Structure 1
Amino acid sequence: MPLLLIGCGTDEPGPQARPAMWLVTDGDTRIYLLGTMHALPRGTDWNEGKVAAATRAADELVMELSPAELAAAGEIFQKLAPRTAPLAIEKRLSGAALAGYRALEDSGSGFDGEKLDDWAVMVLMGQRVARNADLSPADGVETGLTEDFKAAGKPIDGLETAQAQLMLFETLDAPTQRALLTRAAKGSPDAARKVSALTAAWGRGDIAALEKVINDDVDAVPSARKAIITDRNRRWSAWVQKRMERPGTVLMAVGAGHLVGTDGVPAMLDAAGIKVTRVQ
């Protein structure tokens, strides 16, 4: 699950990326669906070719969170994350999971995990994994698109609020939260390699490889998949169908994991009888 939760830029040339993108269109509406990575290797060159053309053509940008909601997310996390009473990590994790947690914690500052809900510890672990894999939020797709659309004076909106997004985790039942935390901790020694593989698959536009990495991460806890992936994709698919009733060109940029597989947004739209064409 930390693979789904993933500084400064650089003047050095970075890796080239051509992420997968789809188009939904009718007589007067075009909606591009771009799969994103929230953090990327510094200097990654992703905004070229058809993505750049879609950015220029779009009248508006729609992301998971608007810039204002993204800015509010940290404060909301701080309010939701604490436990009502501390609980030592040793009482939650053992064996390989505890060792993995401690090793990841030792790679930077402590998580103060005993004070936090299981889901919140997992989020912090995911952020640490991204950092250890040399991924930078400043080079993430959402950051770059936000800069482009702000510079062009085009509106930017969001599909969710930060409160609603974090409540998806906060409201998971206790066994599901513990299963996610345990899996993340146990897999932490290999997590940086896996997130690098995920980033590479995204950069190649390799949706089969993306789906495999993501499914390996989330299918172990089906109840989490429903809340964090499938139900949201269903809502976003409904949003696309409703937005098609109005003219204009929209760039919808959401995490790449939401656009692949049989419960991805393109597949859901296709099942609803809406033509979806992959354009990159």
Structure 2
Amino acid sequence: MRAIGFTDFGGPEVLTVLDVPEPRAEDGDVRIRVQAAAVNPSDLVTRSGGGRERWTDVRPPYIPGWEAAGVVEEVGPDSEFTVGDEVFAITLPVLDGGGAYQDSIVVPTASVVPRPAGVDVFAASTIAMNGMTALVALTLADLDDGDTLAVTGSAGALGGYVIQIAAHRGIRVIADAKESDEELVRGLGAAEVVRRGDDVAERFRELAPNGVDALMDGAVQGDLVVPALADGGRYLAVRWAGIGGETEESDRIVRHDVRVADHVRDAGGLRELASLVDEGVLTPRVADVLPAEQAEQAHRRLEAGGLRGRLVLDFR
């Protein structure tokens, strides 16, 4: 069976086409014929060796990919799914026998949800990981209707989902963006937009003089944006900005590490995301679709930055 992976950590050039055994669905599992797999920043971290200690008990080859969409091709006993169902799923590569960059994946039923009507397979492949990350972040933010959330990296896939869900919940969202992205970010639901830059915390403070209640740091700016937070405000860190649970950043604010890996079996969260897409609250955005064999190019493009939406690998 075809997979895209690597045997040694390194740059995009380590990605290659592999022949791996076809997985089988056990009790409580679903096997999905992957048609599309999204390319996420976490895939770059995996490939380059970030967090490699989590792969200690995993033998190469290593197969990246956290989210996919496709068709159910095998189910375990008593499954709620049937062969032929169109679905999307989230998978944790280090747990599930390899990630989404392969022709078929096997995941627990709790990691799978029907594909929303009217959403094509490429768009569906971009919902699960960034959507679950947004839900987890907003839970940690613990905001009420009318509270203020600042978002960095607002034009990206994760930032866009955070803005859309937060605005839907009645939270006041202020976001950073470059001039060419301002219309996009306002369209996602940001009440106010400030210009990106090293002084972004000051710009946020101009709109929230007492500081924002929480800050989702999708652009991983760290110390540059922390001053925007009110006393007791919640700083939400993603990706390599921090792994290790909740810690106090200082006496003034609280830091939360947003770990979507702890929520890959959250069927309720996935169903909520599917409903939000059905309702038009969430808008999956696909930057481009590339053949699976061009995963190296996809990684290079993601590393270069500037994408507005996710790159997707076509496994059909």
TM-score normalised over the length of structure 2: 0.24
Kindly indicate which of the two structures has a greater share of residues assigned to strand: 2
TM-score normalised over the length of structure 1: 0.26
Structure (1 or 2) with the greater helix fraction: 1
Name the structure, 1 or 2, with higher relative contact order (CA <8 Å, separation 6+). 1
